Each structure stands twice: as C-alpha cells, then as structure tokens.
Amino acid sequence: MQPVLNIEDVKCVEVALTREGVSVSELMHRAGYAAAQEVLELGGVDNVVVLTGLGNNGGDGWVAAEALLSRGVNVKVVTPIEPDELSGDLARQVAQSAVRAGVSIVVGPSRDELAELLATADVALDCMLGTGFHGEVRAPFDIWIACVNASPARVVSVDVPSGLSGQTGHASSACVVADMTVTMLALKPGLLADDGRDVCGAIVVAPLAEQTERLVVDADPVAWRTDLADYLEVTTPRTAAVDKFTRGSVLVVGGS
C-alpha cells in the first residue's frame, strides 16, 4: 500500500527531513536527479526540452537538465526569464549551475518557437507549476501547456502535471496531460482524484531519503492507495471444491 498525504502534510515531511539533516538544497537536487533518471529509463531519449517555472518546481527542472546533459542527452531549458533574474535563491543557484555546465536555454519563446522546439523532442519535462498551484493557469504557461499537449513528445511531469491541483484533483482549463508523473516524497490526493486520474499517466513516487517512509506514515496519511497484490496477501488459496458459500464475504465501502 502507498500512503497519500495532503499537500500541507507533505510540507511537514520536508521540514522534518531538514531537521534530520537533509537540506532543502539536497532535496531539490535529489528530486531533479530522480526526474532525470525516470526520463532516461523511458529509453530512446536523445533530445529533451525542460519547461521551467519560477519556483522550486522549476529548480527541480534545472537540476534534471544538468543531470541529463551529463549523461549525453541534448537538453534545452525553456524559461520565462533569465536564470539570473529568478527571485528564489535556490532556484537561481541551480539554474546558474546548469548554464555553467553547458545547458542551452530558450527565454520567453513565442508559441511558434516553442512548438518547433517540441516537435523534435523525445521528452518534454514539465517543471512549470508545482504543488502550490490552484485556480487558473496564467500566461505564458497556458500557452506553453497547449504546446506541450499538442507535441509528439512523451511528457513527464515533476510532482504534479502543471495546471492540476495536487490537493483537489481539479484541472485548470490549461493542464498538462502527462504520460508519467514523478511525484516527490508521497502521493498527493489530487493525483488520484477527479481530473488527476486522466492527466497524470503512470505515477512514480520518489522518496528522496531513507527516512521518508517513516516520516510519511507519522504524518497521518489521509488515505492509502492499494493494488491487487495487497489483496492477494490476505486471501487464502482456492481449493477445487470452493463455492460462494465458503469463500466469505466482501465489504465494499464507497464514497461520492
């Protein structure tokens, strides 16, 4: 079973990790590396376009871009502003590091320029909007999302698809439709509910630290995600003479 945490509880886990010696910078680097690794494991990845926002989700993207470049992948980062203009210290630092490492950047592209860039990409890595998003997507990200969804590239979202509320599962009118979502630390309710079920694709949880599992359980999960294997563990093997009167009963608890 996989625990599901509310967004605020995920933030508490992040704070707990920092108290146990895992810095915010280290968490960002591990998140970026995790995203890069999942992209590489898709196979056939030579060209990647990383679309970054202004916050820590964008920072994850810059780290992933540098990691992919180090593995021989041709990487271009699309950013709304110059790396030096990013207001967050950590996001700015990792962006500057990626540029120094040789990552190519495209600043504020037009719709046509972005569409052309994505047309030759094997993967579009979505790092535009993170778990703090809610409401409607604003420019330029609404246009970027439309270009991503119209492109032939495989789409991998970091933490949540941009335009989706990680808490409620409500999607903005502009929302990335991902083939895979690499979510950090724990599942969020919005990935599994409402529109989230249609836009996340395959969901991979990146724990980022050895102590994450313990801290997530301590954070009192709001739900647990189960699969068939979980149920097979508690069932007994069938005999040839089994019938519906000897197999027991099933209780189904459903909500709206």
* Tokens coding 92: 């700015």
Separation CA 8–CA 14 (nearest Å): 10
The dihedral over CA atoms of 22, 28, 30, 32, expressed in degrees to the nearest 10, equals: 180
Separation CA 82–CA 142 (nearest Å): 19
Question: Mean pLDDT across the stretch 219-243?
Answer: 79
pLDDT band for 226, please (50, 70, 90 cuts).
Answer: confident
The enclosing H or E element of 3 equals strand 2-4
The number of CA neighbours under 13 Å toward the Cβ of 50 is: 32
With pLDDT > 90 as the criterion, what percentage of the chain qualifies? 88
What is the Cα gyration radius of the chain? 20
pLDDT band for 254, please (50, 70, 90 cuts).
Answer: confident
Task: Check pLDDT > 90 for residue 170.
Answer: yes
Task: Check pLDDT > 90 for residue 61.
Answer: yes
In sequence order, what are the residues at sequence separation of 6 or more whose Cβ sits closer than 8 angstroms to the Cβ of residue 59?
28, 32, 52, 88, 90, 91, 94, 95
- What domains are there in the chain, each with its CATH number? 2-232 (3.40.50.10260)
Q: What is the pLDDT of residue 229?
A: 74
